[in-house]
Amino acid sequence: MYMRRYIIIAITIALGVVTYTTPLFLKKERNGAEEDRLKVENRDLLARIDRMQIAYEEVKKERDELIVRGKIFSQYPFNTKNRITVSVGESEGVRLAQIATVGEGILLGYVREVAPHTSVVETVFDPSLQLPVRIGIHEVDGMLQGGAEPKVVLIEKTKAIQVGDAIYGVANNMPYGLKIGEIGTIQDKTGNVFNEATIRFSYSINELREVGIKVR
């Protein structure tokens, strides 16, 4: 009986030590399907066309950008954050605050942790993420508010936006015009000076297998 108790205590201590004092974690890489890959590629190409229409001069700088691609290992398991672990890290040139993308033209989030061969990306679905954005060809200002259902807030009611308008990031720490998604539904809240809008994403984060990180 005592032996069993000692074994249980030893296993418990070993689990605690491995979890809290070592960088080891279970890499839960998902298998990718060809169809998923093609879907993402198609949406990425459409996003890049959108970006070219919005900011031609800025897009020309893409020639100098270098993107490393990484597989998605794990997804944050709680609702309070939305982060993913990817298979590229410091050794591949990844640094803190670099931009993560779906394909090359769709913004996914920012690098928040870097280890030698892995890194953690905070996605636009993270409740703490806020980002200035513009909407459509009239470049209406708004603010992306991350979360389980991200939305664009602070859209002036006097500015005309439509369902399907492209939403793109305009923060000064990212390439101008990276597409985020499209306007889903516009919520006109009576009494408010600003409108809100839901976002239609061209990908499902649960289906993503690979991300790009702009390392230059």
Partner 1 sequence: MKKLLWLAVGVGVLALAQAYGVSIQGIKPNLALVGIAVASLIIQRVEERIMIVLGAVTLLKFSPTVGSDLFALTVVGVMIAVGVRIMPWYGMVNMMVITSVGTVVMYLLTAPRLLVERVGIEEVIMNTAIGMVVFVIAERLWQNTNT
Binding site for partner 1 (CB under 8 A): 4-5, 8-9, 11-12, 15-16, 18-20, 23-26, 28, 30, 73-81, 83, 85, 113, 115, 118, 120, 127, 147-149, 206
Separation of alpha carbons 103 and 50, rounded Å = 14
Separation of alpha carbons 119 and 95, rounded Å = 9
Kindly state the smallest distance separating residue 56's Cβ from partner 1, in Å. Answer: 36
Nearer to partner 1, 12 or 162 (CB): 12
Separation of alpha carbons 121 and 76, rounded Å = 10
User: Strand pairing partners for 133?
Assistant: 142, 169
Separation of alpha carbons 145 and 83, rounded Å = 15
Q: How many CA atoms lie within 13 A of 215 on its CB side?
A: 17
Nearer to partner 1, 50 or 126 (CB): 126
Kindly state the smallest distance separating residue 108's Cβ from partner 1, in Å. Answer: 15
Nearer to partner 1, 30 or 69 (CB): 30
Check: CB of residue 70 under 8 Å from CB of residue 84.
Answer: no
Nearer to partner 1, 100 or 120 (CB): 120
Nearer to partner 1, 57 or 148 (CB): 148
Extract the tokens encoding 44: 């990425």
Nearer to partner 1, 77 or 191 (CB): 77
Kindly state the smallest distance separating residue 78's Cβ from partner 1, in Å. Answer: 4
Kindly state the smallest distance separating residue 87's Cβ from partner 1, in Å. Answer: 12
Separation of alpha carbons 88 and 111, rounded Å = 11
Kindly state the smallest distance separating residue 49's Cβ from partner 1, in Å. Answer: 29
Give SS3 for 69.
strand
Kindly state the smallest distance separating residue 189's Cβ from partner 1, in Å. Answer: 16
User: 33 phi and psi, to 5 degrees?
Assistant: -105, 145
What does the longest C-alpha to C-alpha distance in the chain come to? 75
For the chain, counts of helices (H) and of strands (E): 3, 12
